[in-house]
Structure 1
Amino acid sequence: MLSPFGADKTMTAVLSNQADIGFMGSESSIYTYNEGANDYVVNFAQLTQRAGNFLVSREPIEDFSWEDLKGKSVLGGRKGGMPEMVFEYILKQNGIDPQKDLAIDQSIDFGSTAAAFSGGQGDFTVEFEPGATTLESSGKGYVVASLGKESGYVPYTAFSAKKSYIEKHPDVIQSFTNALQKGMDYVNSHTPEEISKVIQPQFKENDLDTITTIVSRYYEQKTWKEDLIFNQDSFELLQDILEDADELDSRTPYGDLVTTEFAKKAVK
């Protein structure tokens, strides 16, 4: 098992046959397809349907409005990355110009924004977990908005494999998808407290209360799907976001980059 950091590195591992299956943002499959890859990567199981990051303020804000960001500085993500594209998409949907109405700092490494914010940089920061909860528990930040709720049902992460691998090994893909669906069934039939106790050994750096807070936050906004079926409306929303960020020259066909065959069979 490889654990490369970032969708670009995961895609490279799959395309170079270092990995048979990749878990990454679905935008990577679109980029690769548009670059002309013959044996392109196909998404066969969608795991999350919400962006998993949150807007954190330095001060508590009651009745937060996106207008509150005007004239402020925000620690954002790298250009072309999904966290930043989703953030800017939300801003534009709320009448905010990302280039003119606020200052977005994209110079800080993805894993270092929470530390930079704690050190005094920025009025707001966009954080994944456990960064958002850690800032809150230390009294150095306050979650004021969920990008996942604001952006809608975006296919944020999915499992995928090269077209040729899926064609040659449908039994492996089906078995893998069946196992994933069992995990989804467990998540959707147990409480955040129960889930947290089961996964705690995988997150030894966090105590149970922190893990429970994080799982509850994701659970309440329906971050995880009930099934693994990658629907077309979500795929088109993803392309809307890519187009809005000027990262997509031409739209790609859903039928080429997504197969729902295995996910549908996995649903009991």
Structure 2
Amino acid sequence: MPEMVFEYILKNNGIDPAADLEIDQSIDFGSTAAAFTGDASAAFTVEFEPSATALEKEGAGYVVASLGVDSGYVPYTSYSAKTSFLNENPQVIQSFTTALQKGMDYVQSHTPEEIAQVIAPQFPETDLDTLTTIVTRYYEQDTWKDNLVFEQDSFELLQDILESAGELSERVDYEQLVATEFAKSAVK
């Protein structure tokens, strides 16, 4: 997905990923930061956190752009359930969604420093200063929506990206695939 988003952004800016640059797809995603620092000919790398911030702190690179900012809101995380499960267990789905919304509410109402403190136990390999830098960057980029509603614009963007990458042969109707009533109820 990161590469599809990256190529989508390049294409939207008049750059043909196949003709205008060389993308090395042979590197395991977890090893791209190390490969970037070890290859003098590499000009750019696409990194998730904490690798991007680690490269900056080491003086080995700079974060020059955010795929999330440049692509628009791409729903990287969504949850799927069979229609039968939704119909038979609406209270389970609502409870799950409401719990996730409480997390989104927390992010909206607390500082990056407070958020970093809370999430630190989940990232024992990353120091608090780095976590705070990452959360601050996400905060400033408006990475986190204030609700969990999977908007139609985001759904269409996701299909545009998949189609552009040659991974989607047929588009699907938003109303046919996305149920938003649980997320809308959780916001109330």
Corresponding residue pairs, total: 187
Secondary structure of 2:168's partner? coil
Counterparts of residues 211-250 of structure 1 (less than 5 Å): 211-250=131-170
Secondary structure of 1:144's partner? coil
TM-score, normalised by the number of residues in structure 1: 0.68
What is the CA–CA distance in structure 2 between the aligned matches of 1:219 and 1:99, rounded to whole Å?
33
1:142 is displaced (CA, Å) by: 0.8
In structure 1, what residue type is equivalent to 2:138?
A: Y
1:227 is displaced (CA, Å) by: 0.6
What is the CA–CA distance in structure 2 between the aligned matches of 1:212 and 1:127, rounded to whole Å?
17
Secondary structure of 2:81's partner? strand
1:160 is displaced (CA, Å) by: 2.0
1:168 is displaced (CA, Å) by: 1.5
What runs of 5+ residues in structure 2 fail to find an aligned partner?
Answer: none
The answer to whether the aligner puts 1:95 opposite 2:14 as a matched pair is: yes
What is the CA–CA distance in structure 2 between the aligned matches of 1:156 and 1:182, rounded to whole Å?
19
What is the CA–CA distance in structure 1 between the aligned matches of 2:146 and 2:79, rounded to whole Å?
15
What is the CA–CA distance in structure 2 between the aligned matches of 1:267 and 1:210, rounded to whole Å?
31
1:258 is displaced (CA, Å) by: 0.7
Counterparts of residues 71-220 of structure 1 (less than 5 Å): 82-120=1-39, 122-220=42-140
Deviations 1:180-233 (A, max 9, x none): 111111000001011001111111111110000011111111111101111111
In structure 1, what residue type is equivalent to 2:175?
A: G
1:162 is displaced (CA, Å) by: 2.2
In structure 2, what residue type is equivalent to 1:181?
A: Q
In structure 1, what residue type is equivalent to 2:117?
A: K
**Greater helix fraction, Structure 1 or Structure 2:** 2
Secondary structure of 2:78's partner? strand
Secondary structure of 1:102's partner? coil
Larger RCO of the pair (alpha carbons < 8 Å, separation 6+):
1
What is the CA–CA distance in structure 2 between the aligned matches of 1:246 and 1:101, rounded to whole Å?
18
What is the CA–CA distance in structure 2 between the aligned matches of 1:155 and 1:202, rounded to whole Å?
22
Secondary structure of 2:63's partner? strand
CA RMSD of aligned residues (A): 1.0
What runs of 5+ residues in structure 1 fail to find an aligned partner?
Answer: 1-81
What is the CA–CA distance in structure 2 between the aligned matches of 1:258 and 1:145, rounded to whole Å?
30
In structure 2, what residue type is equivalent to 1:114?
A: A
* Structure 1, 129-138 or 117-126: larger mean CA deviation: 117-126
What is the CA–CA distance in structure 2 between the aligned matches of 1:179 and 1:251, rounded to whole Å?
31
TM-score, normalised by the number of residues in structure 2: 0.96
Secondary structure of 2:52's partner? helix
* Structure 1, 163-172 or 177-186: larger mean CA deviation: 163-172
In structure 2, what residue type is equivalent to 1:251?
A: R
Secondary structure of 1:251's partner? coil
- Among the aligned pairs, what percent are the same residue? 74
What is the CA–CA distance in structure 2 between the aligned matches of 1:246 and 1:202, rounded to whole Å?
36
